[in-house]
Amino acid sequence: AKFTASAGTPYTGVWKGCPNVLLRLAPGANPEPIGSLLSGISAKFLIDGKQSVNYLSLRRSSSFRGGPEKTFRRWFNGDQSNVPAPLPVPLKFFLLPKFGTTSREPNHLGTADFAYTDHTGETEKDPKVPFEVIWTPNKSLDQVSYQNLDSIAPGTKLYDVYAKEKDVFSPKKYIGTITSTAKMTTSKYGDNKLFFQHIRRDEDLKRLDLKCPYKPAQNQNFNIDPKLD
């Protein structure tokens, strides 16, 4: 896939555009037992001569269209975000305590790595980092299920990408588009060997300084409410 940035985007690094993105679409859990699709995105943005950066997201709770019974199996039925929806029972009782041992904000994944280096490997002098990044699906793909993702043709717009600048109360602004560049396929190698490291929100807080649009000290214990837009 590729990420094409909107004209005049305020954010730096690969948020200015990236022609080579490895995109993995996979359920965060087996949908059969829980009765709904916990869809997730792992995206590896490739950078010339340097380590890639990873975006990971899950469905936002405010994005379900038509109720849970109508979202089952439909992949492009709701927004994805690095500040995802609360996990369904019983997953939250097993996963959140585990995630909480390594992060102050287990329900918030980092985005700062994206802003420090562009896709050519050039370091940004004044990185600009969004608080939240939201992927909104192409509505024409609404009926595509996770069993037939391979029906999507190369050159198809998959997601419009939006960002919130300071916090969950910031307005959502369009920053670009994710487009497929090759035919999608299932992959045993992708399931078993291709790993996308989760970037903890805590790592963002270590890297950000007062030049950024919000002060890390004010957000370390911010309780995210994904229902707020």
What DSSP state is assigned to residue 14? G
Q: What is residue 16's predicted lDDT score, i.e. its pLDDT?
A: 97
By mean pLDDT, which of 30-34, 147-151, 195-199, 210-214 is the weakest? 210-214
Which H or E run includes 68? helix 68-71
Q: What is the DSSP letter of 104?
A: S
What is the mean pLDDT of the segment spanning 187-214? 64
With a cut of 60, say whether residue 124 has pLDDT above it.
Answer: yes
CATH of the domain at 199: 2.40.180
pLDDT of residue 99: 53
pLDDT at res. 88:
53
106 occurs within a structural domain: yes
Residue 37 has what pLDDT? 56
Close Cβ partners of 52 (under 8 Å, ≥ 6 residues apart): 22, 44, 45, 46
Q: Is residue 154 part of a domain?
A: yes
* Distance (Å, whole) CA 104 – CA 30: 27
Tell whether the model's pLDDT for residue 4 goes beyond 60.
yes
pLDDT at 9 over 90: yes
Instruction: Give the CA-trace dihedral at 49, 111, 84, 6, to 10 degrees.
Output: -90
3 has which bridge partners? 18, 178
Torsion of CA 74, 72, 131, 100, to 10 degrees: -140
Query: How many percent of the chain have pLDDT more than 90?
Result: 34
**3-class secondary-structure state, position 151:** helix
The answer to whether residue 142 sits within a structural domain is yes
Q: Does the residue 226 lie in any domain?
A: no
Domain that holds residue 173: 2-218
- DSSP 8-state secondary structure symbol assigned to residue 26: E
**CA–CA gap between residue 83 and residue 130 (Å, rounded):** 12
DSSP secondary structure of 163-181: EESSSTTSPPEEEEEEE--
Per-residue pLDDT tens digits for 27-48:
765 555 545 556 778 899 999 9
For residue 226, the model assigns a pLDDT of 36
Would the pTM count as exceeding 0.85?
no
Residue 68 inside a domain? The answer is yes
Whether 193 is in a domain gets the answer yes
Average pLDDT over residues 83-96: 56
Among candidate residues 81, 93, 85, 83, the one with its CA nearest the CA of residue 36: 85
Cα distance between residue 158 and residue 57, in whole Å:
15
Domains of the chain: total: 1
What mean pLDDT is predicted for residues 84-108? 55
Is the residue at 147 inside a domain? Answer: yes
Q: Is 72 in contact with 66 (CB distance < 8 Å)?
A: no
**What are the pLDDT digits (tens) for 168-185?**
789 999 999 999 999 998
Question: Which of helix, strand or coil describes residue 140?
Answer: helix
Please give the Cα distance from 92 to 225 (Å, whole number).
15
Average pLDDT over all residues of the chain: 76
* Position 224 in a domain: no
Residue 156 has pLDDT above 90, yes or no: yes
Residue 115 predicted with pLDDT over 70: yes
